[in-house]
Amino acid sequence: MSHETHRRGWLKALGASAGGLLLGACDKITENPESLAVLRSAEGLTRRAQRLVVNRKALAREYPAADISPDFKPNGTIHPQDADYLALAANGFADFRLVVDGLVERPLSLTLGDLRGAPGRTQITRHDCVEGWSSIGKWTGARLGPLLDRAGLKPNARYIVFHCADTLDPNAPPGGGKYYESIDLIDAYHPQTILAYAMNDRPLAIPHGAPVRLRVERQLGYKQAKYVMRLEAVEDFTHIAQGRGGFWEDRGYEWYAGI
Ligand SMILES: Nc1nc2c(c(=O)[nH]1)N[C@H]1C(S)=C(S)[C@@H](COP(=O)(O)O)O[C@H]1N2
Ligand SMILES: [Mo]
C-alpha cells in the first residue's frame, strides 16, 4: 500500500465516524443536544487530524466526464421564494449583480457577463453532503482569487462571507433565516474555488443555485453556497446572524468542513 493510499484510508476511517453520526443530519441533529455535542467533538477530531496531515493547498480529486452523475441531487433550498430573487429569476437574471464589498479597496458590482469574462476554471468533482450522499458534477465558473485581487483585499480581511438570496429558516429571529457561509483566505485563493455559473455545460439551474453558486472543493456540501448575491470580506463574522460563520454553523455544524 502506498503512503498516499494509507493516509487516505486513515483519514477515511476518521471521517467515517463523523459521517455516520451525520446521516440525516441536515434537519434532525439540531433537535438533539446530546448528538450535537458528539457531533462537535467528532468533527473537531477530524479537523485537527486533517490540519496536521493535509496540505490545504492540495487539489481535490477531479473525475473523467464518464463519472458525471446523471441525477445530481439538489438539496436544501431548491426554489427560493424570496421576492427579490423571484424578480431576478423572472427576468432570466439579466439584472443580477454580484456585489463584492466589505474590507476591499474597490467594491465591485459584477454582471453575469463580467463573471463569464473573468479568469475561469472547469472541473469535475465530487460533492459530499453530510446527509450521506455524494454526486459528481462538472462546474464552470470564475476563479474567486483573481476576483478578490480585482477588488483588493484590505490587510485586515481574513474571511469571505457569501450572502445568499434564499431564506431557509422562515422561523429564525430577524436577520437569521437567510442562508450564508464563510471561508478563510486559504480556501478563497485555492485554485479550484470558483463562483460557478454553469453545471454540466449548461447555465446553472435554479435548484442548484442559479445564477451563481460557490464551489469550494475541499469542503463539505453545506459550504457550497447557492444563490450567492454578495461577497463580503470581513475580519471576523461574529456580527453576522448567530455569529458562527454560516447558516448550519449557527445550528451546530463545524465551521471548518474540510475533506
Ligand atoms: N443558499 C443555499 N446554499 C446551500 C444550501 C441551501 O439550502 N441554500 N444547502 C447546502 C447543502 S446542505 C448542500 S448539500 C448543497 C446542495 O447543493 P445542490 O443543491 O447543488 O446539490 O448546497 C449547499 N448550499
Ligand atoms: Mo448538505
Among 39, 54, 69, the domain boundary falls at 54
2/220: higher pLDDT: 220
Ligand with smallest separation from the Cα of 131: 2
Class of residue 201 by CB neighbours under 10 A (exposed 0-12, middle 13-18, buried 19+): exposed
Are 2 and 106 in a shared domain? no
Residue 13 forms part of a structural domain: yes
Q: By C-alpha distance, which of 137, 122, 148, 110 is closest to 209?
A: 137
Domain that holds residue 11: 1-54
Residue 256 forms part of a structural domain: no
Say how many domains are in the chain.
Answer: 2
207 CA distance to ligand 1 middle (Å): 9
Using CA positions, which residue lies closest to atom 19 of ligand 1? 74
Residue 32 forms part of a structural domain: yes
Ligand with smallest separation from the Cα of 164: 1
74 CA distance to ligand 1 middle (Å): 7
| pLDDT tens figures, 54-113 | 789 999 999 999 999 999 999 999 999 999 999 999 999 999 999 999 999 999 999 999
Band of the pLDDT at 176, cuts 50, 70, 90?
Answer: confident
**Site to substitute for ligand 1 among 222, 223, 227, 250, most atoms within 8 A of C-beta:** 222
Position in ligand 1 atom list of the atom nearest CA 135:
21
Are 69 and 180 in a shared domain? yes
164 CA distance to ligand 2 middle (Å): 15
Query: Do residues 188 and 161 lie in contact, with contact meaning Cβ atoms separated by under 8 Å?
Result: no
Are 63 and 43 in a shared domain? no
The whole model's pTM is what?
A: 0.84
Are 153 and 191 in a shared domain? yes
CATH of the domain at 181: 3.90.420.10
Mean pLDDT value of segment 172-189: 95
Range among 25-29, 116-120, 174-178 with highest mean pLDDT value? 116-120
Are 110 and 81 in a shared domain? yes
Are 43 and 129 in a shared domain? no
| pLDDT tens figures, 9-49 | 434 444 444 443 444 445 444 444 455 555 566 666 666 66
